[in-house]
Structure formats: structure tokens, C-alpha cells
């Protein structure tokens, strides 16, 4: 078998270090990331540069970012098999973003749905970073000649822009970037809020009862599921007019590795109260080893620092190869 056919595809993803890794993040992304390490060359980063589009208190931001890094490791991302690093530690992200900015049209950036949503939400801080966010995302992806990007529904538009930028650059300067494809997981792709099951569970939701995180203690997790909003009626069944119960069925199925049909059969005749308790207990049990690992990592700051530094060094080595090629293509003087 030749080397080309042996080459594994590159997959890249990042999460902003705001709040904690929620159940939604875990089931929709992180759990799949862990499995991907077996099949792909994986690059996972803490998207701390993206997080600056919203005003942050520096000390809290620093602590949350470090906590997020420890949560990544506790969730099973292995620095021996994947590249795991802080985005801000690899300057090539920002350098490539500028060059891509000069190959992106204002109309494209301003049409992004997330820019409109965030501008409405942060009317007192509509900064250039909000508009430029998708171009930085394009730089994140294209730096590593990424083949696949795990995306939720809310990021599909940004990935399309990344593809457009890559194709435009390749057409103008010759083959430079791999044009990435979306990688969309099936089960657990969208976990909704426990208090408003019509919206996605969010790290930044101001209602503490709306979600649970991988580092919440067992009592907190069970209590929040007991308080989860349900629907009228009493049947535990997946149905469009029962978003609350459907969300809980989706969660339980993903946690237990079952189909939603199997969950409906398992809880046929059960009441909402019993079901919510079972879901809470299942989630708490799943997260127990993660909580324990997280505590161990947070108690060893030297290990976190070393792991982050090694990840950044590895990422920068790959990123620099792409950036040098890009600089040459656009005509920068290089010695």
C-alpha cells in the first residue's frame, strides 16, 4: 500500500472557553472527538481568540480557559494521539486570517446569520471581531489542510464561507488549501436546554438549571434533571409536539448508547418523574470518571502547562508550513 492511501484524514475542531463543557457539547461534539482519534489525525483547540468578541474579565477568562483545557483532557482527548492546544499560542492563526481577509468580501461576512444574531445580542459591543469571526474560523481550518470539520447546524454557514474562500484562493494563486468537508454526527447532534427545550443547550445560558456540565457533581446533575421542563400528557415518546420529553429521550439514548425506540420501550408505562430521575442518574454516572480526572488535572498545573506548550509547538510546526506557502503565493518577500 502506498503512502497516499495510508494517509489519515485531518479533522479539526475547537470550542470557546466560556462556562464549562456542557452535556450538549459532550454529546454533540466532545464524545465524538474522542472516538475520532482512532480514525483521523485530530487537532483540537481552545478557541480563546474567538472568545474575545465578547468582553471578558481577564482573570476569570484565564481561569476558565485553563479549566476548559483540563476538561478536554478529562473527556478523553489524548495529547499522545491528537494535537491539543490554545489558539492564542499559535500566532499563525492571526497571520493567515489577515491574508484571508484580503480575499473575503464584506458582503459575505456581513451576511453571516451568527453576526446578525450576536450583533442584536451585544448591541453595545458590535466590534469588528464579530464580523471577522468566520474569517478567523477559515484560517483555523485552512492552516492545517483540514479534510473534515465537525459542525453543528449553527456553524454550517461558516464552513461554507471557508470553502468559498479556499476555492477562491486556489483559483487565483494555484492549489494551496485543502477544501474542507463537513463532518456531521448523527445521534446527539443537538441537545436542548432543560428549561426551554426549543433552544440548544448553551454554555452561556444565564439560567443555571438549563444545562449540566461534565464537572457538575452528582447531586447537582440529578436535581437539574428533576427540574427539567416536560410536556402535557404522560407518554414517554419522541414526538414533535413533545419537545421536553423528546429532548430527555435523546439525552438518555445518547448516554446509554441505545436507540430512541429502545428508550420508549424501556420506559413504557413509566411516569415523567421516574424517567427524569433515571436520565439524571445515567448522566451523573457517565460523568463521574470525567469529574475525577478533571480534579486530578487541575491539581497539576505543571502538567497542563507542559501539555499545552507541546500541543502548541506541534500545531505551529504544521501551521507554519501552510503559512510559508501562502506568503510565497501572494508575493511576500521571503529569504
Does the pLDDT at position 31 exceed 60?
Answer: yes
DSSP assignment letter at 208: G
Dump pLDDT digits (tens) for 319-332: 999 999 999 999 99
Is residue 262 within 8 A of residue 249, CB to CB? The reply is: no
Which entry of 35, 200, 242, 325 is annotated as an active-site residue? Answer: 200
Which entry of 80, 156, 203, 321 is annotated as an active-site residue? Answer: 203
What is the per-residue pLDDT for 1?
Answer: 35
Percentage of the chain exceeding pLDDT 70 = 93
Q: Which cell numbers in the block locate residue 197? A: 427545550
Is residue 214 within 8 A of residue 290, CB to CB? The reply is: yes
Tell me whether residue 121 is one of the annotated catalytic residues: no
Distance CA 273, CA 1 (A): 57
Q: Which of 44 and 106 is assigned the larger pLDDT?
A: 44
Q: Which of 267 and 15 is assigned the larger pLDDT?
A: 267
What is the per-residue pLDDT for 284?
Answer: 97
Q: Which of 108 and 289 is assigned the larger pLDDT?
A: 289
Tell me whether residue 242 is one of the annotated catalytic residues: no
11 φ, ψ (degrees, to nearest 5): -125, 135
Ordered by where they begin, the domains of the chain are 3-183+300-330 (3.40.50.620), 208-295 (1.10.240.10)
DSSP 3-state assignment of 190? coil
What is the per-residue pLDDT for 200?
Answer: 87
Does the pLDDT at position 189 exceed 80?
Answer: no
What is the per-residue pLDDT for 156?
Answer: 81
Does the pLDDT at position 172 exceed 70?
Answer: yes
Q: Which of 7 and 100 is assigned the larger pLDDT?
A: 100
What is the per-residue pLDDT for 329?
Answer: 97
What is the per-residue pLDDT for 128?
Answer: 83
Q: Which cell numbers in the block locate residue 10? A: 485531518
What is the per-residue pLDDT for 34?
Answer: 84
Distance CA 20, CA 220 (A): 14
Average pLDDT over residues 273-293: 96
Distance CA 162, CA 142 (A): 8
Is residue 200 within 8 A of residue 24, CB to CB? The reply is: yes
Which entry of 118, 276, 278, 286 is annotated as an active-site residue? Answer: 118
For 291-324, give the secondary structure using H, E and C.
HHHHHHHHCCHHHHHHHHHHHHHHHHHHHHHHHH
Tell me whether residue 203 is one of the annotated catalytic residues: yes
Instruction: Determine what percent of the chain falls in helix, strand and coil, rounding each to the nearest 5.
Output: 60, 10, 35
Q: Give the pLDDT band of residue 116 (cuts 50, 70, 90).
A: low
Mean pLDDT for all residues in the chain: 90
State pTM to two decimals. Answer: 0.86
Dump pLDDT digits (tens) for 141-169: 999 999 999 886 667 888 999 999 999 99
Amino acid at each position: 500500500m502506498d503512502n497516499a492511501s495510508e494517509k489519515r484524514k485531518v479533522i479539526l475542531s475547537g470550542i470557546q472557553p466560556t462556562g464549562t463543557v456542557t452535556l450538549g457539547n459532550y454529546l454533540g461534539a466532545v464524545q465524538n472527538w474522542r472516538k475520532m482519534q482512532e480514525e483521523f489525525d485530530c487537532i483540537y483547540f481552545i478557541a480563546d481568540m474567538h472568545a474575545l468578541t465578547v468582553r471578558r474579565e481577564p482573570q476569570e477568562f484565564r481561569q476558565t480557559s485553563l479549566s476548559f483545557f483540563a476538561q478536554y483532557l478529562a473527556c478523553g482527548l489524548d495529547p499522545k494521539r491528537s494535537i491539543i492546544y490554545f489558539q492564542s499560542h499559535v500566532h499563525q492563526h492571526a497571520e493567515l486570517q489577515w491574508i484571508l481577509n484580503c480575499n473575503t468580501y464584506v458582503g459575505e461576512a456581513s451576511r453571516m446569520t451568527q453576526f446578525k444574531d450576536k450583533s442584536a445580542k451585544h448591541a453595545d459591543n458590535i466590534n469588528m471581531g464579530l464580523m471577522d469571526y468566520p474569517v478567523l474560523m477559515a484560517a483555523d481550518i485552512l492552516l492545517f489542510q483540514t479534510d473534515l470539520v465537525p459542525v453543528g447546524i449553527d456553524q454550517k454557514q461558516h464552513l461554507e464561507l471557508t470553502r468559498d474562500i479556499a476555492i477562491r484562493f486556489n483559483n487565483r494563486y494555484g492549489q494551496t488549501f485543502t477544501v474542507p468537508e463537513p463532518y456531521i454526527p448523527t445521534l446527539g447532534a443537538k441537545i436542548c436546554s432543560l428549561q426551554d427545550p426549543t433552544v440548544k443547550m448553551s454554555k452561556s445560558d444565564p439560567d443555571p438549571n438549563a444545562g449540566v456540565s461534565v464537572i457538575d457533581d452528582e447531586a447537582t446533575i440529578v436535581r437539574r434533571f428533576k427540574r427539567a421542563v416536560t410536556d402535557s400528557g404522560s407518554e414517554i415518546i419522541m414526538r414533535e409536539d413533545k419537545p421536553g420529553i423528546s429532548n430527555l429521550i435523546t439525552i438518555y439514548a445518547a448516554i446509554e448508547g441505545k436507540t430512541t425506540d429502545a428508550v420508549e420501550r424501556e420506559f413504557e408505562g413509566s411516569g415523567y418523574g421516574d424517567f427524569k430521575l433515571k436520565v439524571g442518574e445515567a448522566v451523573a454516572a457517565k460523568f463521574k470518571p470525567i469529574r475525577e480526572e478533571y480534579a486530578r488535572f487541575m491539581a497539576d498545573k505543571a502538567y497542563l502547562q507542559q501539555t499545552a506548550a507541546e500541543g502548541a509547538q506541534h500545531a505551529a510546526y504544521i501551521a507554519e508550513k501552510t503559512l510559508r506557502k501562502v506568503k510565497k503565493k501572494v508575493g511576500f518577500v521571503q529569504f
